[in-house]
Amino acid sequence: MSLVSITVCARNAENWVHQCLSSLVSQDYRPLQIIAVNDGSSDLTFEKMQKFKDMNDVSDVELIIIDSEPRGLSAGRQIGLEHANGKWVAITDIDCRPEPNWISSMILVSEGHPNEDVMAITGQTIFNEGNTRVSRLRSKKIRQKYSNRSRVTTLANGPCSMFRKDALISIGGFDPSWYHAEDMEVSLKLIELGGTIVYSPQALVNHVAEEEISIFLRKRIRDARAHVRIIRKYGLLGGNLPNGNTIKHDFTGDAIQAAIFFPLLICSISIVYYLSMFNLELGFFSALILVLFTIHPESRLRIFWSISLWIGISLGIYDAIFKKRGH
């Protein structure tokens, strides 16, 4: 059995450390190495990582704790890669709880089919539905995305994937200058190199619920901002394979569906403004509030989601103009 290294990077995540590291130590695969990187946290994340190591001396698992300056997730993943000794390097997030057979399920399909050069395997992330409309929507969208995923896929998702170390090193690993979407960037680079990414639906990773709308919207801004870099480098529709075929970006469908809500809102405001001119008693703002309150709550959430995407796109364009964050 080949050694597998699992890397996890965290910043200000003291409440998630114990459960995440416990789920990694509980993997049924051996031999195993776990590398936890503290990305310059201002809370007790590093102390809790160190405490977990001191209190969980597992003889057949090497647990390494690294304290780093705040450099970002991509830099944290690169630090983990540099300390990894395994043939395979798995990545997950601190707010995830992989099932015990996560690694072993991916190892089972790592040989691939004949004539496939498997460079990465990705599992399935299951978002907890939580107790809010936001968390239920997020869970639903992720579930729909995985329901349509084929055995050979184009994205090794950050929370639930495993890469062949030599393949990652050959493409330069994770670039510390990348602003988010580092999993998509390395996936496209591996595919262009001629590699195959295999989807293993049995390799399950549980993700905590995204219940707060502020956190949800910040993440959507972050996604859109990073995806501008991906589109600039690989085109709007996807990347090109060595044989000339094009691979579709994993984010395209959801992004287009959500992004259209903001332009529709602008059109609605314009219509309300025009109609209000014929009803002086109603007034523009009163009519606008009336329209917003009559919109279904999920549609209102999608409008805010759409606005966040456009903010992220604007920030991504700013990054591109001034050559920042991996552009």
Number of helices and strands (H, E) in the chain?
12, 11
Query: Would you tell me how many other CB atoms lie within 10 Å of the CB of residue 304?
Result: 18
Structural domain ending residue among the three candidates 161, 178, 211: 211
In a domain, 228, yes or no: no
Burial class (CB in 10 A: 0-12, 13-18, 19+), 69: exposed
**Where is the domain boundary, 181, 211, 241?**
211
Are 270 and 146 within one domain? Answer: no
88 located within any domain: yes
Structural domain includes residue 237: no
Q: Are residues 280 and 145 in the same domain?
A: no
Q: Does a structural domain hold residue 246?
A: no
* Rounded-to-integer distance, Cα 180 and Cα 302, Å: 22
Mean pLDDT (10-residue bins), the chain, 327 residues: 96 97 97 98 97 87 96 97 98 98 98 94 96 90 88 93 98 95 95 94 96 91 93 80 69 61 59 58 56 63 84 94 94
Q: Measured in whole angstroms, how far is the alpha carbon of residue 304 from the centre of its chain? A: 20
pLDDT of residue 187: 95
157: CB partners within 8 A, 6+ apart: 122, 123, 125, 183
Give the pLDDT of residue 300.
74
Task: Domain of residue 303: give its range.
Answer: 253-321
pLDDT attached to residue 255: 58
Distance CA 58, CA 73 (A): 27
The CATH number of whichever domain residue 42 belongs to comes to 3.90.550.10
292 and 185 part of one domain: no
Residue 238 lies in a domain: no
Same domain? For 52 and 199 the reply is yes
Retrieve residue 167's tokens.
């393949």
Q: 260 and 207: one domain?
A: no
Cβ atoms of residues 284 and 268 within 8 Å: no
257 and 132, same domain (yes or no): no
Instruction: Give the model's pLDDT for residue 148.
Output: 84
Q: 């405490």: which residue's tokens?
A: 51
Decide if 232 is inside a domain.
no
In a domain, 221, yes or no: no
Answer yes or no: do 202 and 262 share one domain.
Answer: no
Residue 271 sits in the same domain as residue 190: no
Give the list of residues 6+ apart from residue 289 with CB closer than 8 angstroms, or none. none
- Using CA atoms, how far apart are residues 209 and 204, in angstroms rounded to an integer? 15
| Same domain membership, residue 162 and residue 46 | yes
CA 299/CA 104 separation, integer angstroms: 41
Q: How many domains does the chain have?
A: 2
Bridge pairing between strands 61-68 and 32-39: parallel
